[in-house]
Amino acid sequence: MTTAQALLEVQDLKKYFPVQKGVLRRTVGYVKAVDGVSFRLQPGETLGIVGESGCGKSTLARTIMRVLEPTAGKILLDGQDISQLSGKALRRIRRKFQMVFQDPYASLNPRMSVQDIIAEPLVVNGLVAARDIPAVVADLLEKVGLKADDRQRYPHEFSGGQRQRIGIARAIAVQPRLIVADEAVSALDVSIQAQILNLMQGLKQELGLSYVFISHNLAVVRYISDQVGVMYLGHLVELTTKQALYQQPLHPYSEALLSAALEPSRKHKRERILLRGDVPNPAHPPTGCPFHTRCPKVMDVCRQSRPTLREAAPGHWVACHLH
C-alpha cells in the first residue's frame, strides 16, 4: 500500500453488537460483525467488498458512514479522524461521503416528489438558495440519464432502475468525494444493471469519485473495482487488485467463493469447491482462523492461532497460514 494521502483510511475498525438475554436485558456476549478491518482507498479508486451473507459487509458500510457507532478503530477521511465526530461537525463532513442503498423502493420517501428527494441534502446543508433548486435538480437528473421534467413526479411512477438513478442523483447532489454503495445493483435486471454501472463509472471519471462497492455479484465487482477485499466473519481475509484476486486468489475462502460464481456461458464450466455448512454463528466465532471449520486445506495451526493480514506478494494481502 502506498504512503500517499488516502481519501479513506480505515484502521482496525470494530463493530460489536451486544447479545442480550432475559428481562433485565443483560449482555451475555457480542456479535463481532466487524472485527478489526483495515484498508486504504485512494482518490478516484473503487474498492469492492465481497463475502457471504452475514459476514459484516453492510455493518462495515454503515460504520464507515457513521450511521453506526464504531466499537473501536479509526476512520480517516482526507486524513481527518471522523470516528469520534458528532453533531454539527459530523453533519458538515457528511457532505463528503454519501451512501446508495440496495433497495430503490424502500430508500425513497414515497410522499416526496423527486425534486424534494434530491434537493433534501442540499437544503439540509444550506448549499443552494430555494430559487436555484429546480435548475440544480434538473441538471442532476440529466447527469444520471433522467429527464428534467421528472422533477415533479413521485417514486412509484419510476421503474426500479430509474429509482436507483434517483438515489444516485441524491447522493451526488452534494458533490461527495466518496460513495458507499451497498448492493446498489443487486435487485436490478442485467440491462438496467449495465446502465447503472456505466453511470457510476462515468461519474467516477467525470467527478473523480471514489466508491466502496459492496455486492455478492462477483462479475459486477470485477467490472467496477480497482481493489477488492474479501470478508469472512467480520475479518478481511484477502485484499488486492482485482486482477490478482480473480486470476490468482490466495485465500482458500476466496477460491471457494470465486468457484461458486456462475458464468453466463455453456462452455467453460469450472470445478466448484462446495463449502460445507453455513457460516459459523458470529456470536461464537471459532478459535484460530475464522474459516478453519469449513476450509478444505485446514492444518493443525489453523485451529489454534488466527492468521493476520500479511503482504504475501507486492500489493497482495492475505490472512492465511498457507501464505
Ligand X SMILES: Nc1ncnc2c1ncn2[C@@H]1O[C@H](COP(=O)(O)OP(=O)(O)OP(=O)(O)O)[C@@H](O)[C@H]1O
Q: Which spans of this chain sit near ligand X (rule: CB under 6 A)?
A: 17, 31, 33, 51, 53-59, 189, 216, 282
Length of the chain: 323
Distance from C-alpha of 195 to C-alpha of 5, rounded to nearest angstrom? 32
Minimum CB separation from Mg ion for residue 130, in Å?
37
Output 229 or 252, the one with its CB closest to Mg ion: 229
Question: Which residues 82-141 are close enough to bind Mg ion by CB under 5 A?
Answer: none
* Binds other proteins (CB under 8 A): choice among 36, 43, 54, 280: 54
Measure the CA–CA gap between 233 and 184, rounded to whole angstroms: 22
- Phi, psi (degrees; rounded to nearest 5) at 69: -75, 125
- Report the DSSP pairing between strands 227-232 and 178-182: unpaired
- Looking at beta carbons only, is 262 or 301 nearer to ligand X? 262
Of 159-198, which residues contact Mg ion (CB under 5 A)?
none
Distance CA 230, CA 317 (A): 10
Which amino acid, 224? I
Nearer to other proteins, 22 or 264 (CB): 264
Residues in region 242-261 near other proteins by CB under 8 A: 242-243, 246, 256-258, 260-261
49 alpha carbon, distance to own chain's centre: 6
Per CB under 5 A, does 58 bind Mg ion? Answer: yes
188 binds, among ligand X, Mg ion, other proteins, none (CB under 5 to 8 A by kind): other proteins
| C-alpha to C-alpha distance for 23 and 12, rounded to whole angstroms | 34
Is 186 a binder of other proteins (CB under 8 A)?
yes
- Collect all residues with Cβ–Cβ distance below 8 Å to 50 and sequence separation of at least 6: 57, 214, 215, 216, 218, 221, 228, 229, 230, 231, 257
Which H, E and C letters describe 194-243, residue by residue? Answer: HHHHHHHHHHHHHHCCEEEEECCCHHHHHHHCCEEEEEECCEEEEEEEHH
Task: Tell me the closest approach of the beta carbon of residue 254 to other proteins, in angstroms.
Answer: 12
Should residue 154 be labelled a site residue for other proteins when binding is judged by CB under 8 A? no
Please give the residues from 280 up to 309 whose contact with other proteins meets the rule CB under 8 A.
none
- Per CB under 8 A, the list member of 2, 3, 191, 205 interacting with other proteins is 191
The one segment of 58-66, 109-117, 120-128, 197-205 that binds other proteins by CB under 8 A: 197-205
CA 23-63-86 angle, to 5 degrees, is 90
The site for Mg ion (CB under 5 A) is made up of: 58
The site for other proteins (CB under 8 A) is made up of: 51-54, 159-162, 186-195, 197-198, 201, 216, 218-220, 222-223, 242-243, 246, 256-258, 260-269, 272, 274-275, 277-278
